[in-house]
Structure 1
Amino acid sequence: MTSTPPSTEHEPSPTEPPLPVPTGQPLPAPKKPRNNLATAALILCFVFAPVGLVLGIIALVQIHKRGQRGTLPAVIATVWGAFGVMLLGIAAIVIPIAASAIAAEDRLTGECQAVSDAADTLVTSFGETYDLLETDSYQATQHMLHSVIAFNNAVEEVSDPDLDRDVAGLQKQLQNLIVVFDEYAADPSEANGSALDAATPAIDDSMEPIKTTCGY
Structure 2
Amino acid sequence: MNSTAYGPFLFLIIIISICSLSNAWSSYDKRKRRDDSETCLEEYRELRVRSSQDYLNDFVDDSDEDDDSDQANFISKKSNYSNPSDDVSHSLEPINNDSGQEDDDDDENDPMVRESVCEAAMDNYGSIIGAPYRWRRRRSSSSPLPINAYSLAKYCPGGQEIKEMSEENENNCDIKKRQLIKKRHVRRSFRRAIRGVKRHDVKRHLLKKKEISKRKALRFMKKRFFSR
Q: Which has the higher contact order (CA 8 A, sep 6+)?
A: 2
Q: Same fold (TM over 0.5)?
A: no
TM, length-normalised to structure 2: 0.36
TM, length-normalised to structure 1: 0.38
